[in-house]
Amino acid sequence: MNTFPKGFLWGGASADFQVEGGFDEGGRGLLSHDYETDGSLEEPRHHTMKMPDGTLIYPRSSFFYADEVPPEAEPVFLEDAYYPSHKAVDFYHHYKEDIALMAGMGFNVYRFSICWSRIYPNGEEEQPNKEGLSFYRNVINELKKYGMEPLITICHDEMPMNLALKYDGWSSRYLIDCYLKYCKTLFEHFGQDCKYWLTFNEINAVKGFGPCGTRKSDGHVRYLAAHHMFVASAKAVILGHEMMPDAKFGTMYAMSELYPASCKSEDVFHALLERRENWYFIDIMARGYYPSYAKQIWKHHGFDHLEISDEDKDILKRGQLDFVSFSYYRSNITQAGDPWFNVGGSINPYLETTPWGWPIDPLGLRHVMNTIYDRIQKPLFIVENGLGVVDQADENGYVEDDYRIEYLKDHFKAMRDAINEDGVDCIGYTMWAPVDLVSLSTGEMKKRYGFIYVDMNDKGEGSLKRTPKKSYYWMKEVISSNGSSID
Ligand code: BG6
């Protein structure tokens, strides 16, 4: 059998601040990503922040990355810096055109995130921002017009700036209430049209960067923040199931396959321990309880106890996810003595890498699908996978991206084998990202993922014209043949 299962969901994925632009339009509040500059200025800058004495600092990762950012530093906008996400690729004004192009490929699902600060500009208002709701209502109507299923990420590594600065993000339990109010608003307004929801993006990145919005690197604070996110997610699932009986919930995990660097027992055992850092997040949210190895993870992060009330335990149990969704871009290797979460630390000599040094490993995807499914036994949804490279467009904006076709073809074959040969239940795939967008980790436009080229550079120059690449036409065939054209 060389096709995918009947009814397989084929589509693409993006995040609000990476595509929308319009950062100060429609009553939107400031967001934790708004301070990220492009990475290609002469003096490489990322997030722009200022100390009380006026000294500027430019943290390379998210500005919440505590090891680089003193707590007294405040985010600032600099006049001589460019902030690509402020304009991004202007999906805010081009959504009709973009959705029509996606429909032209035959997509039957589109994953996008709702910008929390478009709905609640500072996260604490009593009433939602009507303009924000009407923007997403229009997007959903447009998707429905073409028969596309919306897959909504409620929170993509972000939060209203006010919540980050005033409460130190998810380290405060108060954020659960703010998040629940936001979810309830989304379910009320969009629930009748949206079946698939993701409560958070890449939640297991809490230990390294962005999503929990705390500046403190202290392990206890970070894992407490994660606990608050688990409870918030479970409460959202419980509420969502009450309000929308057909709705299905997942959360997105960053799943790089992790191999031991050798067959030395110490390396293999080290890989097992390190993998548990990811399992921790999936087990708690998809199985509904803290696993026995949790204490070992806490100890590794310098603390030995996390207070979890009986009430929270009950919420986690009742608010389990319906499916497991994840991103897959690469694999990593690890060996005894390596720090945990050593992404990019050791080189795998058997794999080629992207220009950004990410190892390309399609078989790793099949491996990941099997290991998650074996363990959790819930349907999988691959909600991010793709190739970020520099594309050379001709004078018409056309890109002959055979390398992207090769990359996707190999990953699709691995995915199909996992489903058809290994018996993994996988309901869909959304490629990152159908329309070129601003990179999350580098803030650049030149790292392009799309099936559709956008005329926009790192300095904000360009006509924003959209042009399908060669891979666009290839993907159209893949979808219309439900995968058999990749042979
Ligand atoms: C995932 C994120 O981690 O990776 C996306 O959910 C991100 O937001 C994607 O864009 C690719 O990473 P990057 O850094 O190349 O944009």
The residue whose CA has the least distance to atom 10 of ligand 1 is 440
Residue among 126, 384, 395, 461 flagged as catalytic = 384
- Ligand 1 pocket check for 439: Cβ under 6 Å: yes
Q: What is the pLDDT of residues 329-369, one digit of tens each?
A: 999 999 998 887 666 667 789 999 999 889 999 999 999 99
The finding on whether 201 has its CB within 6 A of some atom of ligand 1 is yes
Residue 215: predicted pLDDT = 79
Cα distances (Å, whole numbers) of residue 463 to 90, 299, 397: 11, 53, 11
pLDDT one-digit tens code per residue, 11-23? 999 999 999 999 9
Confidence of residue 417 (pLDDT cuts 50, 70, 90): very high
Residues 6+ apart with CB under 8 A from 99: 110, 139, 142, 143, 146, 148
Model confidence at 212: pLDDT above 80: no
Cβ(34) – ligand 1 distance below 6 Å:
no
Q: 291-312: per-residue pLDDT in tens?
A: 999 999 999 999 999 999 999 9
Provide the phi-psi class of 482: left if phi over 0, else alpha when psi is between -120 and 50, else beta: left
CB atoms within 10 A of CB 127: 7
b/e code 376-387 from CB counts within 10 Å (16+ = b): bebbbbbbbbbb
Rounded CA gap, 88 and 462, in Å? 11
CA distance 381 to 428: 5
Q: What percent of the chain has pLDDT over 70?
A: 94
Q: Which atom of ligand 1 is nearest to the CA of 252?
A: 6
The per-residue pLDDT for 344 is 60
% residues pLDDT > 90 (the chain): 78
384 is catalytic: yes
For residue 214, what pLDDT is reported?
Answer: 82
The residue with greater pLDDT, 118 or 222, is 118
Residue 176 Cα to ligand 1 midpoint, Å, equals 25
Give the residue-averaged pLDDT of 450-472.
96
C-beta 254 within 6 A of ligand 1: yes
pLDDT at 245: 96
The domains located in the chain, with CATH, are: 9-30+82-486 (3.20.20.80)
User: Is residue 352 packed enough to be buried (19+ CB in 10 Å), middle (13-18) or exposed (0-12)?
Assistant: exposed
Mean pLDDT of the chain: 93
Give the distance between the most distant pair of CA atoms in the chain: 66
Per-residue pLDDT, 256: 85
> CA-to-CA distance for 344 and 351, rounded, in angstroms?
13
- H helices within 146-246, ranges in order? 161-167, 174-190, 219-243
136-180: per-residue pLDDT in tens?
A: 999 999 999 999 999 999 999 899 999 988 998 999 999 999 999
Mean pLDDT computed over 191-197: 97
- Does any ligand 1 atom lie closer than 6 A to the CB of residue 84? no
- Of 109, 350, 313, 145, the residue nearest 231 (C-alpha): 313
User: Probe ligand 1: pick from 440, 444, 445, 458, max atoms within 8 Å of CB?
Assistant: 440
Dist. CA 480–CA 284, nearest whole Å? 38
* Residue 219 or 462, more confident: 462
- The pTM of this model reads 0.96
Which residue among 89, 356, 360, 384 has the greatest number of ligand 1 atoms within 8 angstroms of its CB, and so is best to mutate? 384
Segment 90-114 shows an average pLDDT of 98
Nearest CA to ligand 1 atom 4: 440
Report pLDDT digits (tens) over 396-414.
999 999 999 999 999 999 9
pLDDT in tens, 251-270: 999 998 899 999 999 999 99
| Cα–ligand 1 centroid distance for 440 (angstroms) | 5
Q: Tell me: pLDDT of 87 over 90.
A: yes
Q: Treating both helix axes as pointing N-terminal to C-terminal, what angle do 219-243 and 174-190 enclose, rounded to 10 degrees?
A: 30
pLDDT recorded at residue 74: 87
15 lines ligand 1 (CB under 6 A): yes
Instruction: Give CA–CA dist 224/208, Å, rounded.
Output: 14
CB 199 within 8 A of CB 232: yes
Give the pLDDT confidence score for residue 218 in this predicted structure. 85
pLDDT at position 208: 58
Task: Give φ, ψ of 430 to 5 degrees.
Answer: -120, 120
318 Cα–ligand 1 center, Å: 31
Place of tokens 């299905």: 248
**For the segment 22-71, what is each residue's pLDDT rounded down to a tens digit?**
999 999 999 988 988 876 555 556 788 899 999 988 876 654 555 667 77
